[in-house]
Structure 1
Amino acid sequence: VGGVTVSGGPITLEPGQEDTTTFTANYTITQADIDNGTFTNSAEVVGTTPAGAEVTDISNNDGYVGDNPTVVTICTDASIALIKTSDVEVDPTTGCS
């Protein structure tokens, strides 16, 4: 997807090692995403084996096996909230400001 910037890495691992490095990507939700009501998110990693072969994997939302993307529901029901606060102290004995 265009417009996605990823920061972090690279990392180097020995065979059998695991790493929990965090990478960050930013994506601006579009009107098409809002109209669709969901945003689907997955990531792909590319690595090189010690023998020089390239390997890839696509993220999974619930474990190491599989390629299930994360689907985020975008609420499209219009709403508004107005919250009023006051910085005037209330007299605890009279309840008046």
Structure 2
Amino acid sequence: MPPSACWYPRSRHTGIPMSQPSAPDRRHIQTAITPGDPRHRLLTTAEAAETAGVTTACIRQWTHRGYLTPTAHHGKHNLYREDHVLDAERTRRAHRT
């Protein structure tokens, strides 16, 4: 089939025509991000410890035990969402009392 016979883009690797997407790709939809929103603020281990009022060893222990999950990594450093840190801190304090 000549290239002009198909208006769909072709795969670079196989040359086979790619199918047309059936639904809009939601990954490219821009959402409004408000500055300072804890859902979008990433913290290092030290910043997370300061926010939760615990030590960095405690944050690492919460991660090891599964109470807190890193959202991203910067090099070898874990980054945590601020709202997840605060939720984990509330949960741990509720179980302590």
Instruction: Provide the TM-score with structure 2 as the length reference.
Output: 0.17
More strand by share: 1
Instruction: Provide the TM-score with structure 1 as the length reference.
Output: 0.17
More helix by share: 2
Which structure: larger Rg? 1
Highest RCO, 1 vs 2 (Cα 8 Å, sep ≥ 6)? 2
